[in-house]
Structure 1
């Protein structure tokens, strides 16, 4: 949505900014930082002044393994360079085994899956956990409710995705309860795109496949949203922006107006997707977890801290 609003702003199509401000004011706000101890937060790096790091959290209340809806199933650290010419989005697998700091209520204070932080202390503990793990200071937080994901894609008239291989999911929004995907490039409607982005059991590499598919769908949404067909259609454009606004929440200090203006030169081709380096999966007690490759992860996130795009690309490849 930010990319689309930026394109509109750059084209002078938001005269007076009334539409812009109405969208900005309609988005839910969350208090993301109040309970984060300031003394424990990573300090900004002088050479990266002006860069911005946004933590994107996605919650899938319709995930059959997440009936409580209290865990964050998607965790992405989005780094916007100080010149706003590019962005790097790094997915952190939800089962990554990390130290979760103790929350204000006393929960945590031990090693666990990273997404447990959200269940134990909400967004503030998630910020604290990701900052401790990455040593990157989080500037803003965006939360996406996957329940609205379907409406976003449908508002665009579907998105094109290259399905890596044929598979069947048994946890589908289709009335039959299952959906079969055939390998190859195809257009997915909202329900199919959500099924595609959620599935992990049909793949040997499980959550890593799901991360790949989520990244595919995010890029497909950006490509479609920024296309001439959407920008030239007031009805389709309005439906997309409103569907997105209904599906997201942001921290109290994030100004979509200011950020979109700063991103007006950014295009989807300037976005790069990565996954936090790992040593694979294993078990800790009864839990199936992902073990981070701490040495490689340190190199990657240190490059993020210093706003070094070339090093981020090298470390994330």
Structure 2
């Protein structure tokens, strides 16, 4: 009887949190993996818009584009930040867009924003990398701010002084505790940084690492009310496409991922000015990075290419 009650209780909690997560059709049907194994390997697309709360509005671009790859066993996750100004071939879209060369962060807007924009972005990435995806998520950074605050803030280490172009806040060098608003403001900055957008990508990866680390440090299991708040806040900040895999299966599979299992990667590329417009162009087709993901050799590629590995 006790075992039966426990099973029913776990199922009820799973269903409650499952209902808090919005579902969407975020991947183009031609880029989906035919069969997804929750135990991996898994490759996901994470998209964050720069105009949260205005999904589907005009001129909405994807401020954050991350390819997350987890080899079989799910003990490591490779965070691959795609430069927002990367020059790509955007395929035609159902909304009438005929296709053409553009920055990759424009694909989201050219597809119509929202779910349709995410689908065109996934198709653009597939054309560039030949990767198939096991799922996708759209991140609402307003909701993510609440998650950080519920965790008690995160510890971020600022390496270069920078002034926020959004709030005017000056971030001084050194490790410091940041609340949600401050942390998200910091990781959006790219101007006046030595590496420009590459530094912004690294800071976003560091934030994800800091959140996972903080979640591990916090005794959420011993505080059911706080755990409930955090899980609902996480669910409220995401729209997910699980490619038909039950969400609870993915959650159970990913819970063993350690905070030190995150590896931050940059896409081998360099900035170029073409016809007066600033772009980022792939170095030698990405220098084998995407092929290593497709063939299960991400660890070997990382070891051989330390230049493109971010310190988290």
Taking structure 2 as the reference length, what is the TM-score of the superposition? 0.85
**What is the CA RMSD across the aligned residues, in angstroms?**
2.6
Contact kept, 8 Å, 1:60 with 1:69, in 2: the verdict is no
Does 2:127 align with 1:137? no
Following the alignment from structure 2 to structure 1, what is the Cα–Cα distance between the partners of residues 216 and 173? 26
Partner of 1:25: 19
Partner of 2:3: none
Does 2:191 align with 1:201? yes
Q: Equivalent of 1:191, from 154, 158, 181?
A: 181
Counting only pairs closer than 5 Å after superposition, residues 1-317 of structure 1 correspond to structure 2 as 15-33=9-27, 35-36=28-29, 38=30, 41=31, 50-61=40-51, 68=58, 70-121=60-111, 122-172=117-167, 178-251=168-241, 253-278=244-269, 280-295=270-285, 297-314=286-303, 315=305, 316-317=308-309
Structure 2 residue ranges without an equivalent (≥5): 1-5, 112-116
Task: Give the C-alpha shift of residue 18 in structure 1.
Answer: 1.8
Aligned length: 289
Contact kept, 8 Å, 1:44 with 1:305, in 2: the verdict is no
Contact kept, 8 Å, 1:300 with 1:312, in 2: the verdict is yes
Deviates more, 1:280-289 or 1:159-168: 280-289
Cα pair distance change 1:169/1:144, threshold 3 Å: same
Following the alignment from structure 1 to structure 2, what is the Cα–Cα distance between the partners of residues 42 and 306? 17
Partner of 2:114: none
Question: Which deviations, in whole Å up to 9, do the C-alpha atoms of 1:205-250 show, x marking residues without a partner?
Answer: 2211111111111111111112243343223222221211111100
Following the alignment from structure 2 to structure 1, what is the Cα–Cα distance between the partners of residues 124 and 273? 21
Following the alignment from structure 1 to structure 2, what is the Cα–Cα distance between the partners of residues 222 and 228? 10
Contact kept, 8 Å, 1:61 with 1:146, in 2: the verdict is no
Contact kept, 8 Å, 1:59 with 1:145, in 2: the verdict is yes
Which structure's relative contact order is higher, taking Cα pairs within 8 Å and 6+ residues apart? 1
Structure 1 residue ranges without an equivalent (≥5): 1-11, 173-177
Contact kept, 8 Å, 1:134 with 1:298, in 2: the verdict is no
Task: Give the C-alpha shift of residue 165 in structure 1.
Answer: 2.1
Cα pair distance change 1:111/1:163, threshold 3 Å: same
Question: Which deviations, in whole Å up to 9, do the C-alpha atoms of 1:145-165 show, x marking residues without a partner?
Answer: 122222121111110011112
Contact kept, 8 Å, 1:58 with 1:75, in 2: the verdict is yes
Partner of 1:7: none
Taking structure 1 as the reference length, what is the TM-score of the superposition? 0.83
> Matched residue of 1:73: which SS?
strand
Cα pair distance change 1:111/1:27, threshold 3 Å: same
